[in-house]
């Protein structure tokens, strides 16, 4: 592999004390690793002039549905990683609600083998129960040996609290992370959108915020009682934010993520009657959005992940019967930059911390930094470029983005993974 020299970039790497107020610097990459930072001359290196751009550690999306195996008409590992690269994502955690479920060593091995040639690093979250049915626990030692780094029944909560408890106790010994989909299915009761003003207006069955809140409360109670870590997925309600904040104050080992649509969109988008705005948890109220933003500002919410959930146009054709989910990896940085950084709610460094450094630390993977010896996983971004989201120009198989047609600020220009340019606008 030829040496690569990035010239004139402003490096933003919060873990290394580098921020957007620092001057330009160069980054020399050798054999897929960052070899040197500073003012560098390298006669035999390929040169990328990053003048006017920020170099940030490649984003770590800790909540992605690749649909592979089993639903590759929606996405597959290769196309999903192309979408990741186009969004500056160099590491992602693949959720287990595949077909068959990622509940055994063979499926874990299949995913990791297929991902070897992909444009992003793929890490695997295996399921806590077989088939996500909460009827029989999986063999956690087998899943760990096969290469899984996290455990979740995401797509569904673990209904059997005993199975969740046992996984939470065992996971730290295996150096795995439990990432929890928090939902009380009895309260959700087959609802489609947030229960409230919009659901009443549309005559569509709603999901009360309490469905998420009760699930969040259960997971936090277990983490507190067992004195073990838990990571809360896709927080969308003001009460869940408050529960996580209180738990952290009490010393509970809890971390939490939200998604771009939860700090930028409200349930009013659903008045369009477009199923691309339907996801689970659903879009909530403005007061929930405000609480999510406050949680990002004060550190209650550690990470921003996308819950990238591809579906075909045919899947999403009917507003009421369509499956939940929206894609998000290609727009995640831009939405964060537009709604958080440009509005003065977070600095660029704080956004990078939420999208790269913190998720890497939560998962315990070697990512989220630009320093000597670190993997050369870097996104070059223009924080000021405006662009309009055209779903037909995105790089994955599916087009179900809730940001279609929106003008956003902040563009990924190049993505480098392991010293290889995997995306070049």
Neighbours of 57 (CB within 10 A): 32
CA 298 to each of CA 252, 258, 271, 280: distance values in angstroms, whole numbers, following the listed order:
17, 14, 32, 25
Q: Is the same domain home to 112 and 40?
A: no
Q: Is the same domain home to 235 and 151?
A: yes
Q: Which two tokens stand for residue 42?
A: 């390298």
397 lies in some domain: yes
305 lies in some domain: yes
pLDDT digits (tens, 9 = 90+) for 314-353: 999 999 999 999 999 999 999 999 999 999 999 999 999 9
Give CA–CA dist 324/320, Å, rounded: 10
Q: Is the same domain home to 102 and 223?
A: yes
Per-residue model confidence (pLDDT) at position 143: 98
Per-residue model confidence (pLDDT) at position 42: 87
The residues carrying an active-site annotation are 307
Neighbours of 49 (CB within 10 A): 11
Read off φ and ψ for residue 97, nearest 5 degrees. Answer: -85, 55
CA 130 to each of CA 122, 143, 153: distance values in angstroms, whole numbers, following the listed order:
22, 12, 9
Give CA–CA dist 279/244, Å, rounded: 22
Q: H or E stretch including 243?
A: helix 238-249
Q: Is the same domain home to 174 and 188?
A: yes
Q: Which of 335, 363, 391 is the last residue of a domain?
A: 363
Beta strands (DSSP E) in 81-211 are: 89-94, 121-126, 150-151, 177-180, 193-194, 206-207
Q: Is 287 exposed, middle or buried (0-12, 13-18, 19+ CB in 10 A)?
A: exposed
Q: Which two tokens stand for residue 83?
A: 């979408």
Q: Which of 363, 395, 412 is the last residue of a domain?
A: 363
Q: Is the same domain home to 204 and 75?
A: yes
High-pLDDT (> 70) share of the chain, %: 100
368 lies in some domain: no
pLDDT digits (tens, 9 = 90+) for 132-178: 999 999 999 999 999 999 999 999 999 999 999 999 999 999 999 99
Name all contacts of 72-75 with Cβ < 8 Å and 24+ positions apart: 73/312, 73/397, 74/310, 74/311, 74/312, 74/315, 74/397, 74/398, 75/310, 75/396, 75/397, 75/398
Give CA–CA dist 131/399, Å, rounded: 27
Beta strands (DSSP E) in 71-215 are: 89-94, 121-126, 150-151, 177-180, 193-194, 206-207
pLDDT digits (tens, 9 = 90+) for 357-415: 999 999 999 999 999 999 999 999 999 999 999 999 999 999 999 999 999 999 999 99
Q: Is the same domain home to 40 and 67?
A: no
Q: Is the same domain home to 124 and 46?
A: no
DSSP labels, 285-342: -HHHHHHHHHHHHHTSS-EE---B----TTTTSSTTTSPP-B--TTTHHHHHIIIIIT
What is the CATH number for 282? Answer: 3.20.20.140
Q: Which of 319, 338, 363 is the last residue of a domain?
A: 363
90 lies in some domain: yes
Q: Is the same domain home to 150 and 278?
A: yes
Domain count, the chain: 2
Q: H or E stretch including 221?
A: helix 209-226
pLDDT digits (tens, 9 = 90+) for 5-15: 999 999 999 99
Q: Is the same domain home to 341 and 286?
A: yes
Per-residue model confidence (pLDDT) at position 43: 87
Rounded to the nearest integer, the mean pLDDT of the chain is 98
370 lies in some domain: no
pLDDT band at 226 (very low <50, low <70, confident <90, very high): very high
Say if residue 260's pLDDT is above 90. Answer: yes
Q: Is the same domain home to 87 and 161?
A: yes
332 lies in some domain: yes
Q: Is 381 exposed, middle or buried (0-12, 13-18, 19+ CB in 10 A)?
A: buried
Give CA–CA dist 8/14, Å, rounded: 19
Give CA–CA dist 407/200, Å, rounded: 30
Read off φ and ψ for residue 415, nearest 5 degrees. Answer: -125, 130
The pLDDT of 65-93, averaged and rounded, is 98
The pLDDT of 295-307, averaged and rounded, is 98
What is the CATH number for 12? Answer: 2.30.40.10
Q: Is the same domain home to 171 and 38?
A: no
Per-residue model confidence (pLDDT) at position 12: 98
Say if residue 78's pLDDT is above 90. Answer: yes
Q: Is the same domain home to 181 and 329?
A: yes
233 lies in some domain: yes
Question: 29: domain range?
Answer: 4-55+375-424
Neighbours of 114 (CB within 10 A): 17
- Whether 58 contacts 27, CB under 8 Å: no
């Amino acid at each position: 592999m030829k040496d690569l020299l990035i010239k004139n970039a402003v490096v933003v790497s919060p873990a290394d004390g580098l921020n957007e107020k620092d001057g330009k610097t160069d980054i020399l990459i050798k054999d897929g690793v960052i070899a040197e930072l500073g003012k560098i001359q390298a006669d035999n290196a390929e040169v990328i002039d990053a003048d006017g751009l920020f170099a940030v550690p490649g984003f770590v999306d800790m909540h992605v549905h690749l649909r592979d195996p089993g639903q590759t008409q929606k996405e597959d590992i290769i196309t999903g990683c192309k979408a990741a690269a186009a969004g500056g994502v160099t590491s992602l955690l693949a959720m287990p609600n595949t077909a068959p479920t990622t509940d055994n060593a063979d499926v874990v091995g299949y995913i990791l083998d297929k991902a070897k040639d992909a444009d992003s690093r793929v890490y695997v979250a295996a399921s806590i129960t077989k088939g996500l049915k909460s009827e029989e626990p999986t063999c956690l030692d087998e899943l760990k040996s096969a290469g899984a780094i996290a455990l979740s029944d995401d797509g569904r909560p673990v209904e059997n609290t005993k199975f969740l408890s046992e996984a939470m106790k065992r996971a730290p010994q295996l150096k795995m992370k439990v990432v929890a989909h928090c939902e009380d299915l009895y309260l959700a009761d087959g609802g489609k959108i947030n229960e409230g003003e919009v659901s009443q207006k549309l005559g569509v069955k709603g999901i009360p915020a309490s469905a998420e809140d009760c699930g969040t409360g259960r997971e936090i109670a277990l983490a507190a009682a067992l004195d073990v870590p838990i990571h809360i997925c896709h927080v969308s309600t003001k009460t869940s934010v408050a529960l996580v904040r209180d738990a952290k104050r009490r010393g509970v080992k809890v971390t939490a993520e939200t998604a771009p649509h939860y700090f930028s969109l409200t349930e009013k988008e659903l008045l369009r009657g477009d199923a691309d705005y339907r996801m689970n948890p659903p879009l909530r109220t403005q007061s929930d959005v405000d609480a999510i933003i406050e949680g990002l500002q004060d550190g209650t919410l550690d990470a921003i992940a996308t819950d990238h959930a591809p579906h075909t146009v045919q899947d999403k054709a009917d507003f009421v019967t369509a499956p939940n989910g929206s894609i998000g990896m290609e727009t995640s940085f831009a939405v964060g930059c537009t709604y958080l950084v440009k509005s003065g709610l977070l600095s660029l460094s704080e956004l990078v911390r939420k999208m790269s450094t913190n998720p890497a630390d939560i998962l315990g993977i070697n990512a989220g930094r630009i320093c000597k010896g670190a993997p050369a996983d870097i996104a070059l971004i223009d924080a000021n470029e405006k662009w309009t989201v055209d779903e037909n120009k995105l790089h994955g198989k599916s087009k179900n983005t809730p940001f279609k047609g929106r003008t956003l600020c902040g563009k990924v220009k190049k993505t480098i993974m392991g010293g290889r340019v995997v995306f070049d606008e």
